[in-house]
Chain A
Amino acid sequence: GAVVSQHPSWVICKSGTSVKIECRSLDFQATTMFWYRQFPKQSLMLMATSNEGSKATYEQGVEKDKFLINHASLTLSTLTVTSAHPEDSSFYICSATGTGRLEAFFGQGTRLTVV
C-alpha cells in the first residue's frame, strides 16, 4: 500500500499556543487529504476534507478558524490547531488518496496533549 507519514507522533503544548501537524504522502500524489479526530476507544470523526490547491471543506461543528488546514502541494497537508485548549487534546489522524485510487491511506496519527 501507499505510504503516508504524519509528524509529529506526539506533542505537548501549553494552553493558548498553536500546534502544526504535517501529513505527507511519500510515494503518490495526494489530490485529497482528510483530517480526523479520535477519542479513546471510539471511531474516527471526520473534521475536514482538503483538495490540493483549494480551501478545505469542514464538517458541521468543526471550527474552521480554530483548525486551519492547508493543502498547498500534492504531497503535503497541514493541520494547525490555533489557541489550543485542554479540550483540544486528542488523537489526530490524516489520510490521503489520489486520482484513480479507491482507498485512502492513513498516517500514524498525532497525540496532542494541551496542558
Chain B
Amino acid sequence: TQLLEQSPQFLSIQEGENLTVYCNSSSVFSSLQWYRQEPGEGPVLLVTVVTGGEVKKLKRLTFQFGDARKDSSLHITAAQPGDTGLYLCAGGSNYKLTFGKGTLLTVNP
C-alpha cells in the first residue's frame, strides 16, 4: 500500500507570511497532484508534476517534485486569507490516486 505523509497537519498563519507544506512517501509515483479543497466542496486540482526535480509556479504558489519522485512541496508566498483551505497531495499510479491526510491552512487577516 502506497502511503503519503503530509505535514504539517494544521497551520495557522498571519496574512503576508510565507509557508511550506510537505508531502513525503517511501514509494515512487508516476505523477503527483496538489489539490485545494474548501469546506463543503470537492477538491480542485492545482497542479500536476511528473518529472523528478520539476518546479512549477502558479502565481504565489510554487510546487516542487523531488528528484526521486517520492516527495513534493508546496510553498506559498505572502499568504492571503483567500488561501485558506485544505491542501491535499495525491500520488498517482495506474490512475489510482493515493491521498495524503491534508494540511488545513488558515490565513488570518
What number of residue pairs across chains A and B have CB atoms under 8 A from each other? 60
Cβ contacts B29-52/A at 8 Å (1 or 0 each):
011010100001111110010100
Count of B interface residues, CB-CB < 8 Å: 25
Query: A32 with B95: in contact, given A43-B100, A43-B102, A102-B50 (CB under 8 Å)?
Result: yes
Query: A42 with B101: in contact, given A6-B42, A93-B42, A103-B48 (CB under 8 Å)?
Result: yes
In the complex the two chains form, what is the Cα distance from A56 to B8 in whole Å? 34
In the complex the two chains form, what is the Cα distance from A81 to B5 in whole Å? 30
Residue in B42, B48, B50, B99 whose CB lies within 8 Å of A43 = B99
- Asked if B42 and A102 make an inter-chain contact with CB atoms under 8 angstroms apart, the answer reads no
Q: Which DSSP category, helix, strand, loop or mixed, fits chain B's interface?
A: strand
Query: Which residues of A in the span 45-70 have a Cβ within 8 Å of any Cβ on B?
Result: 46, 49
Residue of A nearest to B97 (CB): A104
- Asked if B99 and A44 make an inter-chain contact with CB atoms under 8 angstroms apart, the answer reads yes
* Count class of interface residues, chain A: 20 to 34
A residues apposed to B, CB below 8 Å: 1, 4, 6, 31-32, 34, 41-44, 46, 49, 91, 93, 95, 97, 101-109, 111
Q: Nearest 4 A-B pairs (CB), nearest first?
A: A106-B42, A43-B102, A43-B101, A102-B31
